[in-house]
C-alpha cells in the first residue's frame, strides 16, 4: 500500500469550496448552455491602461463590479459591453483627473476594430472546430464597433 501524496494534507474536497457552483458535478450543465438567470458574470478589465502622462489608471473598479453583480451600480451600454456610468466609480481618496477618467471610460472603436482583425486571424487556425457562436459574437462586436465609429 502506498502512502498519501505529501501535499495531500493541503487539499480539501471540492464540495467544501465556498465559491463552487452547486452544479459542478452535473454532467448536463455545459458552459454556454446556462439558463439566462445562471449566466456567469464576466468582466474584462485592462489593469495596465495608462493616461497620456503614462500613469496607471486604477480606480476602484472591483468595487463597481461587485456592486453591478448585486444590482446596485449603474452602467452605460457601449459597443464592447457595459461600462461604469458617470459617478459610479468610487474615486474617494484617489487622485484621478477628469481627463484620466474620461480616457478610462472612452471606447477606442478604431483600436478595437484592429483587434477584431487579429481575433479573426486567430480563429482561422481552428477552422470548422471553432464554435459558430464565437464567430457570431465576433461579427456582432465588429458591427457594433463600426456603427459607433460612424
pTM recorded for the entire structure? 0.64
Quick check: 77 and 112 in contact, CB under 8 A? Answer: no
Pull the grid cell for residue 72.
446596485
Q: Which of 18, 146, 144, 23 is nearest to 81 (CA)?
A: 144
Q: Report the alpha-carbon distance of residue 100 to residue 12 in Å, rounded.
A: 45
Q: Report the alpha-carbon distance of residue 136 to residue 58 in Å, rounded.
A: 32
What are the helix (H) ranges across the chain? 61-70, 98-105, 109-124, 132-149
| Res 53: pLDDT | 75
Q: Report the alpha-carbon distance of residue 90 to residue 62 in Å, rounded.
A: 10
| Res 136: pLDDT | 94
| Three-state secondary structure call for residue 101 | helix
| Res 79: pLDDT | 95
| Res 55: pLDDT | 72
| Res 35: pLDDT | 55
Q: Report the alpha-carbon distance of residue 117 to residue 124 in Å, rounded.
A: 11
| Res 29: pLDDT | 57
Give the pLDDT of the chain (150 residues) as one tens digit per residue.
556 666 666 667 777 777 777 777 776 655 555 555 556 677 877 777 777 777 776 667 888 888 998 889 999 999 999 999 988 988 888 788 888 888 888 899 999 999 999 999 999 999 999 999 999 999 999 999 999 976
Cα distances (angstroms) measured from residue 68 to each of 30, 46, 48, 71: 24, 18, 22, 5
> Up-side HSE of residue 34: CA atoms within 13 Å toward CB?
11
Amino acid at each position: 500500500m502506498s502512502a498519501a501524496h505529501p501535499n495531500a494534507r493541503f487539499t480539501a474536497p471540492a464540495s467544501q469550496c465556498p465559491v463552487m457552483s452547486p452544479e459542478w458535478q452535473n454532467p448536463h450543465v455545459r458552459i454556454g448552455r446556462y439558463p439566462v438567470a445562471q449566466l456567469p458574470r464576466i468582466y474584462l478589465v485592462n489593469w495596465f491602461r495608462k493616461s497620456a502622462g503614462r500613469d496607471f489608471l486604477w480606480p476602484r473598479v472591483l468595487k463597481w463590479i461587485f456592486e453591478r453583480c448585486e444590482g446596485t451600480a449603474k452602467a452605460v451600454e457601449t459597443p464592447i459591453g457595459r461600462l461604469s456610468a458617470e459617478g459610479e466609480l468610487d474615486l474617494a481618496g484617489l487622485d484621478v483627473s477628469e481627463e484620466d477618467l474620461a480616457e478610462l471610460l472612452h471606447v477606442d472603436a478604431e483600436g478595437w476594430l484592429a483587434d477584431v482583425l487579429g481575433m479573426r486571424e486567430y480563429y482561422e487556425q481552428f477552422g470548422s472546430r471553432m464554435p459558430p457562436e464565437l464567430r457570431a459574437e465576433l461579427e456582432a462586436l465588429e458591427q457594433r464597433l463600426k456603427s459607433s465609429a460612424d
